[in-house]
Amino acid sequence: MSIVINNSKNVFLLQTVSNSYAFGIDDQGLVRHLYWGKRIEAVEDFEMPVLTEVSTNDPVYEITPEEFPVYGSLRYKEHCLKVTFADGTREVVYEYVGYQIEKTEAYDELILELKDQYYALKIELHYKVYEKYDLMERFVVLHNESNEAMEVEQLQSGQFHIPYEDLNFTNVHGHWGAEQQRFVQKVSYGKILIENRRGISSHNHNPYFILDKDATETSGDVYFGALRRTGNFSGVVEQTPYGETLVQLGLNAHDFCLKLQAGETFTSPAIICGYSNSGFETMSHNLHNFAKDFILRAGLRPVLYNSWEATEFGVTCEEQKKLAKRAQELGAELFVVDDGWFGERNGIENGLGDWYVNEEKFPNGIDELIKEVKSLGLLFGIWVEPEMVNPPTKLYAEHPDWIYHFDTRESDTSRGQYVLDMTKVEVQNFVYQMLDDLLSYHEIDYIKWDANRPISQTNLHKDIWYRHIEAVYDIVKKLKEKHPNVLFEACASGGGRIDYGILGIFDDFWTSDNTDAYDRLTVQDSYSYIYPIKAMRAWVTDCPNFISNRMISMKFRFHSAMMGTLGIGCNILKFTEEDSNLSKEMIALYKKIRPIIQEGDFYRLQNTSENDYHLYEYTKDAEGLVFAFLPQTKIGHRKVTVKLRGLKKEAVYSVILETKEIKKSGAYLMQHGFDLCLTGDYASTLIQFKEIERR
């Protein structure tokens, strides 16, 4: 059983295959955390410690390890919930009511019921247990059962207690063109805050936490959680004076206030969380498998060609036809027209909001191009930025009140555009109808949804940070119900919307506008800790790269992009015969190995060399492969020993090293490994292996 309860002690034990999570109700009615770690079988073993004050400056409420601390009483710590009631009272005092258990094929769910002692506020703490994935999902549901409104000023989805000090905290930092830059810092006294205030998940931090006790890929304690929310979030990590580390993750309280009307219910974003005592690899595998099985749309992602770098805003029907024909010859399966096909769109200053086909660029309409693309056997995709409007457009002239604004202030433009007020029903209807018309009247298979600026002048309501992205979610869900075969890609000036909130509603992530193949190794490595490879779009683009101005061999560029869902963004009309032949070869190879990459297990292999090798393994069933990269030879003739992981010890594997084949046991390949030596700059290779017999 995944949920075990000792009713006499009021102790709840949540069990996964390898781990346990325990909490209980103490004599004051507080929900207190007891344990998170390796599996403990007997719920009877857990006791509720008696807490006493250290001093009057360290009251019991302050030192109690609460599952869901609220604002009020003698609490001065971080709190998960702050409410102002109709009469102005700003304190929650809850009492335990009871629990429910719900069972489904996918998970068991424990619902802990609390209520305020005086006001008609009901609080439900939800715990979904995904037993075989060693994961839980936590969220909170608030019910206003009164006849008056109440204001929710802060809501975190849960608090986590980790019984160690001096942990390592991992997240990412960055900016446009440099997203997903992994960092690790020591947790000491004071607080670590990660957040976003821009309205998108942002390029700067990401809504998750990883805390480890000197873990490696394959050993050590790792605690982690990822928020299922796009947009403004906050996370706090704090080492307390009482010997533990606390984490909270949820909605950002900055400029936030949710008015919960009489009879209304509000559900917080969920946190997918877990524990590994075998390092980061297990954490990644559990999250990746959960995403593949429960969140992502089934099926392999197509090889994509996108026309942006070939034409930018200079889109014409004839040029797009030429690109589509060439893309099909190279082996692409999906042709995507990027920005510049609509309105008076010849640059960033105009067009957004006027979603009609530009007649000068497409004198016979866009169906002429779509028909040509379909005749080539390709899927057809198109770029949109539905949440934005440019000031010179007809849409803005007709509806100047549709943007976020204050009547007494001049609204900011950023990238020459305003943000539409997606909390307005009429704006939601406009965006949905525009996209529904595109999909209903044209044979479109793929939508690349972009968002190129943060939100400002947010009008008079402080809940827009939440409601805006809910509107985006709802529109896409509704569109996919009506057009179930259409794939949606989440893009926000690159990787500004990578999170578990949008994943599953959208099908792909555009990982970064930086397509430099060497920079992408860092971006993709960091991404892989939390997010599934199947959703990671990666392109091969022209050199010199527009950001790095770096020249990199095409083989290296392909190998880097083949680590995710492959896309091509080059001006393929300028390809040499050598470029074309190599592209055909690599695309054909990717299609053969695509099930292993998109649906297999992913491993970040150890570099044992003084040279800066980057080694990544993928396995699925009896087959596998390794991508090896050497950006620069620093120490000549210094090889690397590649030690594979995830093999069957007793099985024999055939490993193809360029033109050489070796046959070794799984135990040998994992413990001893094989030597690899790349030379030069931007060298790379792809090594394939498969199980051939059992001993």
Residue 390: which of 343, 459, 341 has the closest Cα? Answer: 343
Tokens standing for residue 658? 């360029």
Dihedral sign, Cα of residue 452, residue 453, residue 459, residue 465:
positive
> How far is it, in rounded angstroms, from Cα 280 to Cα 609?
21
Alpha carbon 272 to its chain centroid, in Å, reads 11
Q: DSSP characters for 5-30?
A: EETTTTEEEEE-SSEEEEEEE-TTS-
Is residue 368 exposed (0-12), middle (13-18) or buried (19+ Cβ within 10 Å)? middle
Amino acid, single-letter form, for residue 314: G
Q: Is the peptide bond before 532 cis (omega within 30 degrees of 0)?
A: no
> How far is it, in rounded angstroms, from Cα 325 to Cα 220?
52
Do the bridges between strand 258-260 and strand 121-130 make them parallel or antiparallel, or are there none, so unpaired?
Answer: unpaired
Q: DSSP characters for 501-556?
A: TTBTTBSEEE--S---HHHHHHHHHHHHTTS-GGGEEEEE--SS-TTT-----HHH
- Rounded to a whole number of angstroms, the CA Rg of the chain reads 27
> How far is it, in rounded angstroms, from Cα 567 to Cα 301?
10
Angle made by CA atoms 416, 420, 424, in degrees to the nearest 5: 170
Contact (Cβ atoms closer than 8 angstroms) between residue 587 and residue 303: yes
Amino acid, single-letter form, for residue 259: K
Dihedral sign, Cα of residue 80, residue 86, residue 89, residue 95:
negative
> How far is it, in rounded angstroms, from Cα 187 to Cα 202?
23
Alpha carbon 131 to its chain centroid, in Å, reads 22
> How far is it, in rounded angstroms, from Cα 76 to Cα 69?
10
CB atoms near residue 449 (< 10 Å): 22
Helix axes 554-561, 517-528, angle to 10 degrees: 20
Contact partners, residue 87, CB within 8 Å, separation at least 6: none
463: phi then psi, degrees, rounded to nearest 5: -100, 5
> How far is it, in rounded angstroms, from Cα 500 to Cα 506?
10
Residue with tokens 């693309």: 373
Report, as residue numbers or ranges, the catalytic residues: 450, 513
Around 100, how many Cα atoms within 13 Å sit in the side-chain half-sphere?
Answer: 8
Angle made by CA atoms 633, 637, 643, in degrees to the nearest 5: 90
Contact (Cβ atoms closer than 8 angstroms) between residue 565 and residue 301: yes
> How far is it, in rounded angstroms, from Cα 615 to Cα 637?
18
Q: For the chain, give me the number of helices (H) and strands (E)?
A: 12, 38
Contact partners, residue 476, CB within 8 Å, separation at least 6: 449, 488, 505, 506
> How far is it, in rounded angstroms, from Cα 73 to Cα 30?
13
